[in-house]
Amino acid sequence: MSITFEYTEQEIKALTRCSRCLLPFTFPFIQYDENGICNYCKHYFYEPPYKENELSQLVQRSTNDEYDCMVMFSGGRDSSYLLHYVVSVLGLRSLAYTYDWGMCTPIASRNMERLCKALNVHLVTVNADIGKKLSNISKNVSAWLKKPNIGLIPLFMAGDKQFFRHANQIANEYKIENVFLGMNPFEKTDFKTGFCGVAPNFSGERIHSITTGGKIKMMGFYAKQFLRNPAFINRSIGDTLSAFMSFYQIPQKQIDIYKYIAWDEETIDNTLIDTYGWETDPKCSTTWRIGDGTAAFYNYIYCTVAGFTENDTLRSNQIRAGVLSREEAMEKIIKENAPRVDSILWYLDRIDIDAKVAISTINNIPKLYREVKSV
């Protein structure tokens, strides 16, 4: 039996969406006014980056004889450009740090090697227990397939959040005060917690900020779902709790480079590809998330069930910021949301999940976008 990947392109393209951005009526907590403009647009505030010269005032030369700073490096496009900028433009002596939890794609690994070699940067890799991490992912995906709920999808990515905790440890070990990370300002994805029943935090300063009440509500949602589906009560729980603490509870004092320089997709892509021979995925129309082994799978679920993915939120934020037209954005997401078949199959094989069973189960989940529209 062959595996059939669904993508009802015309149906998804025709969804009722915000008249300004692209968010569809299936987006959690979305509301439209009489002009069809959504509440996410109304609350959106784009803060232009600070002037680049303010970085020189912020980043003081370290007392460390070897390094001026550390860069949190995942191998994705934003962190790759960050490393380029810190070393080539700011002229800082940088240590690069990454966390390998088993879901770094081969493309990302090769790109990290390319940049570090070209920039003569030392890369420190903290290796998780890969066998245990993959086993935890497999347990959670298997449990999820027994009783699918899109609010629980973030469990698949819980294992990578220790990236932040280890960053603090490495910086302390090397006595480095300045730690950089590159958080794309357009990547805010409220829907992931929204599907847990947590309302968006429109006043949040961080990309992934959530209120204390929201954290409590999210934990309550997970507890209730675990009781409904005991398969989630497995050995991965400790890792999941550690991930929650690492991401939401440990203070994050990193310098976000994209608060000081403009995030420009074309400049980033061209710089990485032309200068470093940065590798892209020929079967993917975007350079975003090609280094993340989990993204193709969870975005397939979101698109199949809800009719949108992370790409819709990214492009919608670009529309609001005035850097992309609605027509251009729509054209992009229709291409970007198409199933990345090879990446999905790589992911399922890596965690030892039967691809036919997984995709068939996902395809059979009732489509939210076929429910009665609420506008």
Instruction: Give pLDDT, residue 3.
Output: 93
Task: Look at phi and psi of residue 90 and say left if phi exceeds 0, alpha if psi is from -120 to 50, else beta.
Answer: alpha
Is the Cβ–Cβ distance between 156 and 262 less than 8 Å? no
* Of the candidates 13, 14, 16, 21, the residue with the CA atom closest to the CA atom of residue 321: 21
* Of the candidates 74, 81, 67, the residue with the CA atom closest to the CA atom of residue 112: 74
Q: For residue range 11-47, list pLDDT tens digits in order.
A: 999 999 999 999 999 999 999 999 999 999 999 987 7
* Of the candidates 63, 109, 46, 70, the residue with the CA atom closest to the CA atom of residue 257: 70
Instruction: Give pLDDT, residue 350.
Output: 97
Instruction: Give pLDDT, residue 64.
Output: 77
Task: Look at phi and psi of residue 180 and say left if phi exceeds 0, alpha if psi is from -120 to 50, else beta.
Answer: beta
H or E stretch at 256: strand 255-256
C-alpha torsion sign, points 19, 320, 323, 206: negative
Residue 347 structure tokens: 């992911």
* Strand-strand pairing, 122-127 and 94-100: parallel
Is the Cβ–Cβ distance between 293 and 156 less than 8 Å? no
| Integer Cα distance of 274 and 283 in angstroms | 19
| Integer Cα distance of 293 and 361 in angstroms | 20
Q: What is the third-level CATH fold of 9-198+209-369?
A: Rossmann fold (3.40.50)
C-alpha torsion 188→191→197→200, nearest 10 = 30
Instruction: Give pLDDT, residue 374.
Output: 45
Strand partners, 69: 94
Instruction: Give pLDDT, residue 136.
Output: 92
Question: What are the domain boundaries of the chain?
Answer: 9-198+209-369
* Of the candidates 218, 313, 360, 315, the residue with the CA atom closest to the CA atom of residue 26: 313
Sorted by sequence, the CB contacts under 8 Å of residue 279 that are 6+ apart come out as 107, 110, 111, 114
* Of the candidates 262, 368, 268, 372, the residue with the CA atom closest to the CA atom of residue 321: 262
| Integer Cα distance of 256 and 184 in angstroms | 9
- Residues of the chain scoring pLDDT < 50: 206-207, 374-375
Residue 247 structure tokens: 């991401």
Instruction: Give pLDDT, residue 352.
Output: 97
Residue 318 structure tokens: 């670009």
| Integer Cα distance of 161 and 280 in angstroms | 25
